[in-house]
Amino acid sequence: MGSRRLAVAETASDSGGLPSRYLTPDDLVVMFDLPSVETVYQWRRKRTGPRGFRVGRHLRYDPADVRVWVESLREGAAA
Protein backbone atom coordinates (compact mmCIF):
# COMPACT_ATOMS: atom_id res chain seq x y z
CA MET A 1 0.00 0.00 0.00
CA GLY A 2 2.90 2.38 0.64
CA SER A 3 3.96 2.35 -3.01
CA ARG A 4 0.40 3.15 -4.01
CA ARG A 5 0.40 6.24 -1.81
CA LEU A 6 3.77 7.28 -3.19
CA ALA A 7 2.52 6.97 -6.77
CA VAL A 8 -0.56 9.08 -6.04
CA ALA A 9 1.59 11.63 -4.25
CA GLU A 10 3.54 12.34 -7.46
CA THR A 11 1.72 15.53 -8.43
CA ALA A 12 2.30 18.30 -10.89
CA SER A 13 2.22 21.81 -9.48
CA ASP A 14 -0.45 22.99 -11.93
CA SER A 15 -2.73 19.94 -11.68
CA GLY A 16 -4.55 20.96 -8.51
CA GLY A 17 -3.11 18.09 -6.47
CA LEU A 18 -3.72 15.35 -9.02
CA PRO A 19 -0.89 13.17 -10.36
CA SER A 20 0.69 14.18 -13.65
CA ARG A 21 0.30 10.66 -15.05
CA TYR A 22 -2.68 8.51 -16.02
CA LEU A 23 -4.42 7.01 -13.00
CA THR A 24 -5.23 3.37 -12.30
CA PRO A 25 -8.38 2.08 -10.59
CA ASP A 26 -6.23 1.50 -7.49
CA ASP A 27 -5.22 5.17 -7.56
CA LEU A 28 -8.90 6.17 -7.45
CA VAL A 29 -9.47 3.82 -4.50
CA VAL A 30 -6.71 5.60 -2.58
CA MET A 31 -7.68 9.12 -3.69
CA PHE A 32 -11.35 8.76 -2.74
CA ASP A 33 -10.88 6.33 0.17
CA LEU A 34 -13.16 3.76 -1.49
CA PRO A 35 -13.90 0.36 0.07
CA SER A 36 -12.46 -1.57 -2.90
CA VAL A 37 -11.51 -1.38 -6.55
CA GLU A 38 -14.85 -3.04 -7.32
CA THR A 39 -16.49 0.33 -6.62
CA VAL A 40 -14.50 1.86 -9.49
CA TYR A 41 -15.54 -0.97 -11.81
CA GLN A 42 -19.19 -0.51 -10.78
CA TRP A 43 -18.95 3.20 -11.60
CA ARG A 44 -17.64 2.25 -15.04
CA ARG A 45 -20.41 -0.32 -15.66
CA LYS A 46 -23.09 2.15 -14.54
CA ARG A 47 -21.38 5.06 -16.35
CA THR A 48 -21.49 7.18 -13.20
CA GLY A 49 -17.78 7.63 -12.53
CA PRO A 50 -15.02 9.51 -14.31
CA ARG A 51 -14.40 8.72 -17.96
CA GLY A 52 -11.84 5.95 -18.33
CA PHE A 53 -10.09 4.27 -21.22
CA ARG A 54 -8.25 1.05 -21.92
CA VAL A 55 -4.60 0.65 -22.75
CA GLY A 56 -4.58 -2.96 -23.83
CA ARG A 57 -6.30 -4.70 -20.96
CA HIS A 58 -5.46 -1.99 -18.43
CA LEU A 59 -8.00 0.61 -17.34
CA ARG A 60 -6.68 4.16 -16.98
CA TYR A 61 -8.08 7.58 -16.09
CA ASP A 62 -6.87 10.98 -17.22
CA PRO A 63 -6.45 13.25 -14.16
CA ALA A 64 -8.22 16.04 -16.09
CA ASP A 65 -11.28 13.80 -16.60
CA VAL A 66 -11.28 12.91 -12.90
CA ARG A 67 -11.20 16.64 -12.06
CA VAL A 68 -14.13 17.34 -14.42
CA TRP A 69 -16.11 14.50 -12.85
CA VAL A 70 -15.43 15.76 -9.30
CA GLU A 71 -16.43 19.30 -10.30
CA SER A 72 -19.69 17.99 -11.79
CA LEU A 73 -20.43 16.25 -8.48
CA ARG A 74 -19.69 19.44 -6.57
CA GLU A 75 -21.93 21.51 -8.84
CA GLY A 76 -24.72 18.95 -8.43
CA ALA A 77 -24.36 19.07 -4.64
CA ALA A 78 -24.57 22.87 -4.63
CA ALA A 79 -27.85 22.89 -6.53
Whether the pLDDT of residue 10 is over 80: the answer is: no
Whole-number Å distance between alpha carbons of 38 and 44: 10
HSE, CB side, 13 Å, CA atoms: give it for residue 8: 16
CATH number for the domain running over 2-78: 1.10.10
Whether the pLDDT of residue 78 is over 80: the answer is: no
* Contacts of 79 by beta carbon, 8 Å cutoff, 6+ apart: none
pTM above 0.85, yes or no: no
Q: CB–CB of 65/51 below 8 Å? A: yes
Whether the pLDDT of residue 18 is over 80: the answer is: no
Q: At what angle do helices 25-32 and 2-9 cross, to 10 degrees?
A: 90
